[in-house]
């Protein structure tokens, strides 16, 4: 994974580390993750199944109390015909609910892209865990931060397909993500994360009255007009609504088929948004150490980092399309 892409992933992951359970930020994140699951399913994994070379899967467990199916998006580590996932829970003191569920009922359902299969989950230990843990760190270095944050050892769970069909699905993932298709998938994934973070930023700005404030051009909105201004000028934490609509349309079009025009549009939008975040007073304020905010700072950092990814990968996808 490239440096900018790793930065974006780390920024988004730090959002989960920064928010408190039950807070507004926590509710926004939960809504974003639920939306990710729905988008993944609705598009058969065309959107949401990859972040550059990292593989994301849908893991469905059986609720140990309710008995109902519970689905989460998780990063995967390939291990031959098996997959491994890490029960990090963003470094929280407690294991995630999905891990508790699979301990009670190891039979799970895994979806990768459009294909799904049944697997049996097993918590690894000893040298096997250490080997898989090192491989997981190669894909998601943020796991080291999670481990330092808690005293519990983060469980590494091996997902073993119950039949040959599941093994075939996993084996297909070993094919490298290269060329224009890989670049486009990376761009779609980055834009999806960026758009979700922007929507969270807009909601936050509307609640706080954080109007746009571009000191360089002496443009400044008023809190009482933030709703109307968000359409033309954006807010202190998000781009104008028409830009977000264009971003959403271009992302969906690129997810459906290679389209240099859509890729170029996302690249241009990413560049414009990076410039916008740099000159916006509200953004600069929450990114400074003295102005760190438990909700706004991680949201804005995610917006800025993923916009940088869009600017970079948009140009590459357009030229390779």
Each residue of 168-209: pLDDT tens digit? 888 776 654 444 566 777 788 889 989 999 999 999 999 999
Span 217-243, average pLDDT: 86
Burial of residue 279, with CB atoms counted within 10 A of its CB: 0-12 exposed, 13-18 middle, 19 or more buried: middle
> pLDDT at position 24, please?
55
> pLDDT at position 258, please?
78
> pLDDT at position 278, please?
85
Q: How far apart, in Å, do the first and last CA atoms of the chain sit?
A: 21
100, 108 contact by CB (below 8 A): no
Q: Taking 90 as the threshold, does the pLDDT of residue 246 lie above it?
A: yes
**Which has more pLDDT, 142 or 280?**
280
Q: Taking 50 as the threshold, does the pLDDT of residue 9 lie above it?
A: no
Least confident of 122-131, 160-169, 244-253: 160-169
> pLDDT at position 51, please?
62
What would the pLDDT profile of 103-145 be if each residue is shown by its tens digit? 999 999 999 888 899 999 999 999 999 999 999 988 787 888 8
What would the pLDDT profile of 24-76 be if each residue is shown by its tens digit? 555 656 666 777 788 788 777 776 776 655 688 999 999 999 999 999 989 88
> What does the buried/exposed string (b/e) look like for 133-164 if buried means 16 or more CB atoms within 10 Å of the residue's CB?
beebeebbebbebbbebbeeebbbbbbbbeee
> pLDDT at position 31, please?
66
Per domain, the residue ranges of the chain are: 54-172, 179-320
> pLDDT at position 152, please?
95
> pLDDT at position 1, please?
32
Look over the chain and give the mean of its residue pLDDT values, rounded to a whole number. Answer: 83
CATH of 54-172, one of 3.20.20.70, 3.30.70.1150, 2.30.110.10, 1.10.3430.10: 2.30.110.10
Q: Taking 50 as the threshold, does the pLDDT of residue 4 lie above it?
A: no
């Amino acid at each position: 994974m490239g440096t900018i892409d790793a930065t974006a992933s780390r920024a988004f992951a730090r959002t989960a580390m920064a928010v408190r359970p039950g807070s507004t930020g926590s509710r926004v994140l939960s809504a974003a993750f639920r939306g990710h699951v729905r988008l993944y399913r609705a598009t058969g994994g065309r959107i949401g199944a990859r972040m550059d070379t990292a593989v994301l899967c849908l893991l469905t467990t059986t609720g140990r109390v309710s008995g109902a199916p519970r689905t989460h998006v998780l990063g995967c580590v390939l291990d031959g015909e098996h997959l491994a996932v890490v029960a990090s829970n963003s470094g929280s003191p407690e294991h995630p609910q999905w891990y508790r569920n699979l301990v009670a009922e190891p039979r799970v359902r895994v979806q990768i892209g459009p294909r799904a299969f049944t697997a049996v989950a097993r918590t690894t230990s000893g040298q096997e865990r250490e080997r898989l843990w090192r491989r997981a760190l190669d894909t998601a270095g943020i796991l080291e931060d999670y481990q330092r944050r808690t005293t519990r050892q983060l469980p590494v769970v091996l997902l073993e397909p119950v039949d040959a069909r599941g093994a075939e699905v996993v084996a297909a993932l070993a094919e490298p993500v290269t060329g224009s298709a890989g670049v486009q998938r990376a761009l779609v994934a980055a834009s999806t994360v960026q758009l979700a973070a922007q929507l969270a930023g807009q909601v936050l700005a509307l609640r706080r009255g954080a109007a746009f404030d571009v000191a360089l051009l002496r443009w400044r909105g008023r809190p009482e007009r933030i709703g109307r201004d968000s359409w033309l000028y954006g807010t202190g934490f998000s781009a104008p609504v028409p830009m977000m609509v264009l971003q959403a349309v271009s992302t969906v079009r690129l997810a459906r088929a290679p389209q240099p025009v859509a890729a170029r549009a996302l690249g241009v939008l990413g560049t414009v948004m990076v410039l916008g975040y740099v000159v916006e007073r509200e953004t600069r304020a929450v990114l400074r150490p003295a102005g760190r905010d438990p909700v706004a700072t991680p949201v804005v950092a995610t917006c800025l980092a993923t916009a940088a990814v869009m600017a970079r990968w948009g140009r590459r996808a357009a030229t390779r399309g």
